[in-house]
Amino acid sequence: MLTDRYVTYENKCALTTSLWSIMLQYYIKKGSQAYEQAVPYTVTNMRTTAAAHAQQIIPYFKTISHLRIIDVGAGIGQHGFHLANALLTYCLHNSTDNYSFELILADPSPCIIEYWHTHPQLKPLIEKGIISTHQLTGNLSQDLQALNQTHPIHAYIFNYVLDSLPFIPVINGLPQKICLKAKRKDISHNQFIGQISDLKVSFSPDYSKETEQQLPTHLYKSYQDKSYTFPITAIEIIKTISQQTHTQVILVNDKGHITPDEFSTDSALDFILEGCYSAPINFHALLPHISNTFSHTITGQPHNPMKSLVIHKNKKPHTMSCAEVTSICHYYKHHHLTCPDHALALCKILEYDAFTIELISQATLSSITPSLEAALKTCLAHRFVKNVDFTLLHLARIYRNSKHMEQSLHYLQQYKTQQGDHSALNFELGLHFESIDSEKAIMHLNIAAQDPLLNTASQNKISEIQHKNLKYET
């Protein structure tokens, strides 16, 4: 559009551009609200992922008297909560001192840190010294160096962090442009002032510039017409911490590519959909910089954007990775469960994580057995308290789909008590009363229709109910 303004940076680390400042300020300003909107974090925050991470860390209890673990960019703290509980469970079952580890939750947002200290599930762990908190400055290399000067860190966890670190878009002298696009109304005095979702960013090789060194033929063929970035800061961090003698394990979960063939050919990235408002990480460039004193394992298929990298000193335990958890969740998002025994098995596979309820809610089960009902209650008990949480609505849907209307209404009422009156609640109430009381159903659907996200679905359902009523009257 002619009303768009373009700001292009060539051969620069993103840290020196307004892009990094915009991303950092977004999280600092929004705090926990950022995770109620578009930031993807479900799979990395599941109990299943935390249990897998615990299995990677547990072997070092035998050799280190006080393990220090850091969750970098810990977000709302859900992963940290589940990880701390998984490690505490191991300590209790193995007669190990509960305080033989310290989990550091680190984030650049002071609002997030305040949120952790007042959160009903995190606060007791913080008061007991099991979890500590640290505010990052945005320069992660310096932050980690400072933390290690006080007490050495033995285990590092990077969930959706490395891809949002600064990038230098240069490979062997070939420049790559970073282009920020925004409408004129969102720019004031050359500063972006709009919503983060309105900022468009693209990366593209700049073949118009002469280079001092020609790109080698095999790399040129690999990278030509691809959208790629070289995560220089990520490389420096992985290289530095893998060379430290006290580092035992590094766990990385991120959207990214292992080989150039997997790289996106679309130069325009939607930061909200891609994750953490930056490009997927180039593991192809990162892996060669791991210290040779470490072994590494990377999992993830080309069709699955999530990759899991484990860098470890000892033999890697056989455990499910976050990338594999993502594949399971993605599969059941599109292939519905109908057998209660299969639903029960999924609860067990996913460590009775609350997200399992949402996966099961997308199908109509033939029945709800006592065993499955108990499993669903266990999943519900594992919820991490959040300001916006639809777990009870998903649970109500499971019972509604299976014609257990009384139990369905119970969970809808429980949601209203805990979360208040929400458009999603009114939509579910409309579906609940559809076959019971059409007038009440339409009333709730009209309320839900006031939400732009539910307007079309609500109006369609109202028309469907009215058509059925007209048919019956005729």
Cα–Cα distance, 375 to 379 (Å, whole number):
6
Q: Does 201 score more than 70 pLDDT?
A: no
**Per-residue pLDDT at 454:** 92
253 — phi, psi (to 5°)? -125, 120
SS3 309: strand
Average pLDDT over residues 86-93: 90
**Per-residue pLDDT at 88:** 92
What's the chain's average pLDDT? Answer: 80
Task: Report pLDDT digits (tens) over 384-419.
Answer: 988 888 999 999 999 999 999 999 999 999 999 998
Confidence of residue 430 (pLDDT cuts 50, 70, 90): very high
Least confident span in 14-23, 29-38, 327-336, 354-363:
14-23
Q: Does 56 score more than 90 pLDDT?
A: yes
Query: How does DSSP assign 44-104, residue by residue?
Result: GGSHHHHHHHHHHHGGGGGT-SSEEEEEET-TTSHHHHHHHHHHHHHHHHTT--TTSEEEE
Average pLDDT over residues 432-461: 93
In the chain, list all ranges with CATH 3.40.50.150: 20-165+231-320
Q: Does 223 score more than 80 pLDDT?
A: no
From the list 328, 334, 331, the residue with the least C-alpha distance to 299 is 328
Confidence of residue 207 (pLDDT cuts 50, 70, 90): low
Of the options 3.40.50.150, 1.10.3720.10, 2.20.25.240, 3.40.1160.10, the CATH number for the domain spanning 20-165+231-320: 3.40.50.150
Given this structure, which CATH class describes domain 326-473? mainly alpha
In the chain, list all ranges with CATH 1.25.40: 326-473
Task: Report pLDDT digits (tens) over 230-245.
Answer: 677 778 888 888 888 8
**Per-residue pLDDT at 275:** 37
Judge contact between 64 and 248, C-beta under 8 A: yes
Q: Does 4 score more than 50 pLDDT?
A: no
Q: Does 225 score more than 80 pLDDT?
A: no
